[in-house]
Amino acid sequence: MALPPAFKFGSKRRCIELGFNKKSTAEQVTEGIDLSGQTILVTGVGSGLGRESMRVLAMRGAHVVGIDRTMDLVKTACDEVQGVTSPFACDLSDPDSIVVCAEAIREQFSSLDVVLTCAGIMAPPLTVVHKYKEPLEIQFAVNFLANFVLINHLMPLLKAAPTARIALVASESYVMAPKEEGIAFDNLDYSRNYDGLAAYGHSKLGIMLMNIMLADRLKGTNVTSNAIHPGLIRTNLAHDTETFLVKLISKYGGPWMRSIPQGAATQCLVAAHPSLGAMSGEHFADCDLRAATGHAADMALANKLWGKATFLAEDYLIAE
C-alpha cells in the first residue's frame, strides 16, 4: 500500500552531516554522549516514544523527570528504567493538573536542562475540553495548549540552567491543518466539520508555530527551542481513533513504519547532541534538518496564535 499524498511531505532537507538517518535509533544517535549532571524532563513516558526517550537519556546519565497521566503509569515506567528518574503525574487535558505538576517540579528542582514533549493524542472521537476561556477540541488542548502552559511554568527552571533546550515533538501532519487559514480560530472546538486527522494536523501546526515563537522570544537567552517530526511509528498513539484513514495506515502501513527506537532517534538527537546546542527555531526529521513550509513558517500566524493561547490559558499562566 502506498502512503497517501498527505504523508508525502517533501519538505526541503538541509544536511547537518552527523551521519544519522531515518533508520538510526535513539541509542545510536546518543552513543558516546555523557549526560551526567543534566536534568531532562520528558512527557508521555508511559509508553511509546516517551518511554524509549526516557530509557535512553537515563542510560546516558541524565536524571529524567518522567511525566504521564497517572502516578501508577509513571512509576511503572520509571521502575523499568536503569538510571535516575523522578515520576510526576500530569493529565495534559486538565490545566489544573498541569499547574499542580509544574509547581511540584519547581519545588523539587532548581533547574532543567531539557524539556522534551513526547505526550500526545491522535484522531480520537470528537471530544471537547471546557477548562479554558473557550471550548477546545481535545487534540488542540492536549497537543498544543497543554505544552504552552507547561513550558510557561517550567521556563524559570530552563532559564536557571547554564544552557537549556526545548524539544517539541510535532508532526509533518501539520500539512493536514485547514488549507486557507492554518489555525481555525473561529472553530477551535471543531464543532463544525470534525475530522480526526485534520484536527490532529491542526494541533501539530500549533506546535510548529509555538516553536518559532519560542525561538524568537528566547533570542539572547540561554534557552533554545526546536520542533521534531518522528515519522510514521508503530505506537498506540491512535488506539481509540474512528478515522478511517488512520485505521487503514495502522493496519497496512507496517512496511513504511519505523520502530519505536527509530522513532525516538530524532527527538533524542535534538535533546542531547552537543553539536545542536546553539540551533533554535528549526525543524528536524530523519535525524536531520527539514525546512518547515506553508503555514508552519508564517511568523504573523505564529504571533496571532501566541496571543490567542495567552488569552485562552490566562487563568493558568505565570508571569515570565
Quick one: cell of 262? 527509530
Rounded distance between C-alpha atoms, residue 183 and residue 224, angstroms = 24
DSSP 260-280: HHHHTHHHHHHHH-GGGTT--
The answer to whether the beta carbons of residues 151 and 115 sit under 8 Å apart is yes
Q: How far is CA 272 from the centre of its chain?
A: 15
Element (H, E) at 164: strand 164-169
Parallel, antiparallel or unpaired: strands 85-89 and 114-117: unpaired
Rounded distance between C-alpha atoms, residue 137 and residue 197, angstroms = 12
* Alpha-carbon separation of residue 119 from 217, 263, 275, 291 (angstroms): 24, 14, 26, 23
Quick one: cell of 264? 525516538
The rounded radius of gyration (Å) of the Cα atoms in the chain is 18
- Per the residue annotation, which of 194, 200, 252, 316 is the catalytic one? 194
Q: How many CB atoms lie within 10 A of CB 25?
A: 21
Quick one: cell of 125? 472521537
For residue 105, give the 3-state DSSP assignment: helix
Rounded distance between C-alpha atoms, residue 185 and residue 241, angstroms = 24
Whether 174 sits among the annotated catalytic residues: the reply is no
Quick one: cell of 116? 522534551
Which positions are annotated as active-site residues? Answer: 194
